[in-house]
Every structure is written in C-alpha cells, then in structure tokens.
Amino acid sequence: QVQLVESGGGLVQPGGSLRLSCAASGSQFSINAMGWYRQAPGKQRELVARITRGGFTTYADSVKGRFTISRDNAKNTVELQMNSLKPEDTAVYYCQVIIATRTYWGQGTQVTVSS
C-alpha cells in the first residue's frame, strides 16, 4: 500500500555534490521516521542518516559534517544532501520509511563517486 520513489543518484567527481529525494505515497499514513541506507558491493547495508517525525537526526560517523538529511512531513518526502563526496561513498542508496512500526524500502538509487 506504500510506494517509495527515489531519485537524484548519479555519477559525480570526488568533492562534488548530489541530492537524493524519496517520496512516499499510496495511502493515508503517519511516518514515524525516514532515512537513507546504503550498500556497497560485497558489504552489508548500513545506515547513512535518519530523521524522526520530531526532527531528530542520526548520521553515520563517516558522513557527519558532509551529509544533511531533511524531511517534509506534509508531503511525506525525505532528502539527503551529500557534499564533499568521496569514492568510498559509492553505493546503492535505499530510502527507508517507518509507518506504524512497519518498515518500507525503496528500490535503490546508484551513487558513484569517481574521477
């Protein structure tokens, strides 16, 4: 009943920026938290950033000071502004939403940082 649409991935040079977007739609709901995870080849999926309904944020140590997560509760969207990108940021990024204790995942968007 909930669909997540992700956009904004692509190829950038080291030091560049990208902005990821995720929109949740399909039902009337209240989102408890939204966030972004990423999975690099051969690695487990890991938390990048999360923001709760109340606006509390959590970031992975590796992205603190470079990434900023934000949300629009009225539109059920979450954004991830990624600055000063590094090659190690290369991964598939997945949007996650938590609605009434249930977790939903987007299909993933590729982010590649390379010169």
Q: What is the pLDDT of residue 11?
A: 98
Q: What is the DSSP string of 35-72?
A: EEEEE-TTS--EEEEEEETT--EEE-GGGTTTEEEEEE
Q: How far apart are CA 32 and CA 3, in angstroms?
A: 16
Q: Which parts of the chain have pLDDT scores under 50? A: none
Strand pairing report for 77-82 and 57-59: unpaired
pLDDT of residue 82: 98
Of 36, 34, 38, residue with least CA distance to 51: 34
The amino acid at residue 24 is: A
